[in-house]
Amino acid sequence: MSSPASRRNSCRGAAAGSRAESHPGRRRASSCPYFSPGAQSEDFPVSLSQPMFAITLRFLLAVDLWLSKRLGVCACEESPWGSIRPLVRLVEFSGHVIPWLVGTVYSLLRGESVAEQELMLNLTLALILDLLVVRAVKMLVRRRTPAQNRSDIFSAFFVERYSFPSGHASRAAMCARFFLAQLADTASMRVLVVGWAVLVSLSRLLLARHYVTDVGFGLAMGYCQYSVMERLWVTWDCLQDQLFIQLRESLDRAYDGLWMVDWKH
């Protein structure tokens, strides 16, 4: 037969257990309301025995992850701003590489003046350079895309496996600098170009395609890519001279080869 003291202790334990079950939020952190409960979370354990550089890096990565999650308000239809997701996806598509390449190549082939063809030629080369550099850095870093990222056929023609850096952001920055330096001659045009680049970069965060550091590094990389293209600017006359020289050398080699053939009757 149990004593009164043991019965009181057992009653207190049962009451404490019922209170803990009725308030589960006290024992575990609340999940982010912007994402599904199945989304994986990343932990950045910090130990005081680690170097200061490693602690700072882990802290910055944690801030990057937290801020990226807070900005992904259009990640899916159930997100807080899910109603404007189609509009954000349309802005995202305006920075895709395929329509830009198709448009520049078409303008290059149908250009009415030498100056227009020269501009479109260099813009095409800049887009190809941006595509190659972004792909190389992604394969080198191999940072996975956010877990809540949803691939859409409308916004991408192939599934993106890696996140760093953002190709849309680098392309937007490079094209914005290109148009500001070569074509935008009015204040309203400059505001329109800069606003488009900002919206394209922001759309990658709202749709949870990239982390904040991916977009920031992409913008910096695109800014520097135009500086490289400006130094390596290809003029139309230089291109024609190079093509003429190559064609003449090919014809000379073919003509010499005909004379060296041992004709047999």
Which tokens is 68 given?
């990226």
pLDDT at 56 over 90: no
Give the active site residue among 23, 96, 168, 265. Answer: 168
In the prediction, which pLDDT does 71 show? 84
In the prediction, which pLDDT does 152 show? 60
User: Is there a cis peptide before residue 99, judged by omega within 30 degrees of 0?
Assistant: no
3-state secondary structure of 162: strand
For residues 211 and 71, the answer to whether their CB atoms sit within 8 Å is no
Which tokens is 212 given?
């904040």
Q: Nearest 5 degrees, angle CA 37-CA 38-CA 41?
A: 90
What residues contact 31, with CB distance under 8 A and at least 6 apart? 37
* Residue carrying the six token digits 């009451």: 15
* Residue carrying the six token digits 């950045």: 44
Give the active site residue among 23, 96, 210, 265. Answer: 210
210 is catalytic: yes
pLDDT at 112 over 90: no
For residues 142 and 179, the answer to whether their CB atoms sit within 8 Å is no
| H runs (alpha helix) in the chain | 4-22, 52-71, 85-93, 97-109, 114-141, 167-182, 187-206, 212-231, 236-260
Mean pLDDT score across all residues of the chain:
76
Q: CB atoms < 10 A from the CB of 245, how many?
A: 10
pLDDT tens digit sequence for 153-167: 544 445 567 889 999
Cα torsion for 251, 237, 128, 96, to the nearest 10°? -130
Q: Nearest 5 degrees, angle CA 223-CA 228-CA 234?
A: 125
Q: What average pLDDT does range 62-83 have in this prediction?
A: 83
Of the candidates 63, 67, 59, which has an alpha carbon nearest to the alpha carbon of residue 206?
67
Percentage, residues of the chain above pLDDT 70: 65
* Total count of residues recorded for the chain: 265
pLDDT tens digit sequence for 85-110: 889 899 989 999 899 999 999 988 88
The most confident of the ranges 26-35, 181-190, 191-200 is: 191-200
Q: What is d(CA 99, CA 119) in angstroms, rounded to the nearest whole number? A: 17
Is the model more confident about 32 or about 133? 133
